[in-house]
Amino acid sequence: MLLVRQIRLPLHLGEAEAKAEAVRRLGLEDGAVLQAEIAKISVDARRGRPLLVYTVALTLADPAREDALAAAGQAALVRPQPFRLRTGTQPMAHRPVVCGLGPAGLFAALVLARGGYRPLVLERGPAMDRRVQAVESFNRTGILDENANIQFGEGGAGTFSDGKLTTRIHDPLCAFVTRTLLEHGAPPDIAVRQKPHVGTDLLRGIIVSIREEICRLGGRVLFDTPLTGLVAAGGRLAGVRTSGGEMPAQALVLAPGHSARDTFLALAAQGLPLAAKPFSVGMRAEHLQSRIEESLYHEAAGHPALPRGEYQLSHHVGGRCVYTFCMCPGGQVVAAASERGRAVTNGMSLHARDGANANAAVVVSVSDRDFDGDPARAIAFQRSLEQAAFAAGGGGYAAPAENVRSFLRGEGRLAFAGLRPTYPRGVRAADLGSLLPAELAGALREGLAAFQRKLPGYTALEAILTGLETRTSSPVRIPRGEDYQCAALPGLYPCGEGAGYAGGIMSAAVDGVRVAASIAARYAPPAG
């Protein structure tokens, strides 16, 4: 297969014209092409007149001709390699255990199930239907279930997000993850969009479908079953303790998610080594989606060929970086608390992205050096910010908020000028800068001013900040070796975002696949 890149077309032309241009560029005659597909679509809006930029995949009738065209530099030759699981020979007396049913745990369990390992999955929260009910109840009443919320339950934190699949890891296994999502009902455009997303409404059904495949293949999922401890014998993992009792285990995929602070601290108390790692804190910025698209697309804003406008901005302030994260076009700010008396924000959007507002995290980096490498201090820092946000919101998980311009001046004022905040528990005017250390608040102010220069309208009169956002990634890392095992406790496989090895749905899923493949390469499937 050949990839013909950088086919730049005006908005009124489409996929047929892109395919024809790819054939023309290579000088191919009729009958030479067996198949032509769109491999990627992106938007170039840098010069004020947006263009669609296509990559076209061509399969030729003569494979040797593909080699010749690639050698001449006219196209890129791609030979997709299917993912194949290699199984080992070491006996496995017990099923492998997977802790956590977020993207990392879900894909680890799926790969193991497809290999005949019949994994046992522990999930502290409920199955999807009851989890959705719990989140909706919290949004209405403010009564929080600490095990069934935006962070915990089937699908993990990514379930209540934009379902973004954008990643920077460039791992060949991304194709396996995408293909699996398509097999389970994901929209076809995730295979071609530059910034693919599923949407939380569609993602829920996909997650349930993957879980059902795991169970059909002999796996078992235990919902409402937190991991409470580990059992060691002879310097290796021998079992796990759960709220339902103890069970033997030779291999544990530990994928608890970035908010499993109680799990981190409990395992540290048992002697498991943890390290502090960088993460970021800040607020959710909410703008009118129409204003974002006017700033990005100019006169072409609203054209049906263009995707909903989204942005990614960054600015360095001293040794820190202020940047936007998890931008949700046409979405809403969500109440993401998972501990009582602590308020947290996040963002999500549906597949259609048809809401009136855009939102994104505006955050500033903190590092392990800020906490002298102590993971307990990093967790305590997150908790202190969330407690301050809860108090500033007046209780009941309302959130503190103020206009962007007010934040820049430190005024603590909130006025609605054409934009209504979407945070479901309500907002209350507060000085957000006073809730953060002065250095971090100052960096955020400098970053926002820089964003206005890069994207006019970012500090518009109606723009609002809602706080605080503290769960950008895990504050800890569980050290592991090249074989993906924890050196301090062989048999334990730290995995995914919670363990400190991923950031987002795609990279977490890929890490789950790699960890599962490592287990399979060592062990034969358990008998019986």
Q: Report pLDDT digits (tens) over 415-446.
A: 999 999 999 999 999 999 999 999 999 999 99
* Both structure tokens of 342: 């602590």
Q: Report pLDDT digits (tens) over 99-140.
A: 999 999 999 999 999 999 999 999 999 999 999 999 999 999
Whether 69 shows a pLDDT value over 80: the answer reads: yes
Indicate the DSSP class of residue 468.
Answer: E
Q: Report pLDDT digits (tens) over 467-487.
A: 999 999 999 999 999 999 999
Mean pLDDT for the stretch of residues 157-173: 87
Task: Please tell me the predicted confidence (pLDDT) of residue 194.
Answer: 87
Q: How many CB atoms lie within 10 A of CB 141?
A: 11
Q: Where are the beta strands (DSSP E) in 105-234?
A: 120-122, 220-222, 227-233
Q: Where are the beta strands (DSSP E) in 349-502?
A: 357-366, 399-403, 427-429, 464-469, 476-477, 492-494
Q: Tell me the DSSP string of 54-79.
A: EEEEEEES-HHHHHHHHHTTSSEE--
- How far is 392 from 410, CA to CA, in rounded Å? 15
> What kind and span of H or E run contains 239?
strand 236-242
Task: Please tell me the predicted confidence (pLDDT) of residue 16.
Answer: 96
Most confident of 38-47, 190-199, 340-349: 340-349
* Both structure tokens of 230: 């580990």
- How far is 492 from 239, CA to CA, in rounded Å? 10
Partners of 379 in beta bridges? none
- Taken in order 334, 339, 341, 344, is the CA torsion positive or negative? negative
What does the longest C-alpha to C-alpha distance in the chain come to?
70
Residue 46 — pLDDT band, cuts 50, 70, 90? confident
Mean pLDDT for the stretch of residues 206-223: 98
Q: Tell me the DSSP string of 117-152.
A: ---EEE-SS--HHHHHHHHHHHHHH---BTTBSSSS
Task: Please tell me the predicted confidence (pLDDT) of residue 166.
Answer: 85
Average pLDDT score over the chain: 96
Task: Please tell me the predicted confidence (pLDDT) of residue 359.
Answer: 98
Provide the percentage of residues in the chain whose pLDDT is more than 70. Answer: 100
Residue 222 — pLDDT band, cuts 50, 70, 90? very high
* Both structure tokens of 179: 């293909």
| CB-CB contact of 385 with 470 (8 Å) | yes
Burial of 75 (0-12, 13-18, 19+ CB in 10 A): buried
Cα–Cα nearest to 85, from 67, 122, 110 = 110
Residue 187 — pLDDT band, cuts 50, 70, 90? very high
Distances (CA, A) of 502 to 228, 260, 263, 272, 275: 23, 15, 18, 20, 15
Mean pLDDT for the stretch of residues 32-37: 95
The one-letter amino acid at 364:
V
- In the chain, where are the structural domains located? 2-77, 97-275+480-522, 278-469
Residue 48 — pLDDT band, cuts 50, 70, 90? confident
Whether 302 shows a pLDDT value over 80: the answer reads: yes
- Four-way CATH pick for 2-77: 3.30.70.2700, 3.30.365.10, 2.40.340.10, 3.90.226.10: 3.30.70.2700
Residue 82 — pLDDT band, cuts 50, 70, 90? confident
16 contact partners, CB below 8 Å, separation of at least 6: none
- How far is 130 from 78, CA to CA, in rounded Å? 44
Q: Report pLDDT digits (tens) over 324-369.
A: 999 999 999 999 999 999 999 999 999 999 999 999 999 999 999 9
Indicate the DSSP class of residue 164.
Answer: B
Cα–Cα nearest to 414, from 396, 444, 395, 393 = 393
Residue 22 — pLDDT band, cuts 50, 70, 90? very high
Q: Which CATH superfamily is domain 97-275+480-522 in?
A: FAD/NAD(P)-binding domain (3.50.50.60)
Residue 170 — pLDDT band, cuts 50, 70, 90? confident
Mean pLDDT for the stretch of residues 37-66: 93
The one-letter amino acid at 44:
D
Residue 378 — pLDDT band, cuts 50, 70, 90? very high
* Both structure tokens of 256: 């608890």
Whether 528 shows a pLDDT value over 80: the answer reads: no
Mean pLDDT for the stretch of residues 376-382: 97
Residue 527 — pLDDT band, cuts 50, 70, 90? confident
The one-letter amino acid at 136:
E
Q: Tell me the DSSP string of 341-389.
A: T---EEEE--TT---SEEEEEEEEEE-GGGGTT-HHHHHHHHHHHHHHH
Indicate the DSSP class of residue 527.
Answer: P
Task: Please tell me the predicted confidence (pLDDT) of residue 137.
Answer: 98
Of 67-76, 334-343, 491-500, the one with minimum mean pLDDT is 67-76
Task: Please tell me the predicted confidence (pLDDT) of residue 297.
Answer: 95
Q: Report pLDDT digits (tens) over 230-274.
A: 999 999 999 999 999 999 999 999 999 999 999 999 999 999 999
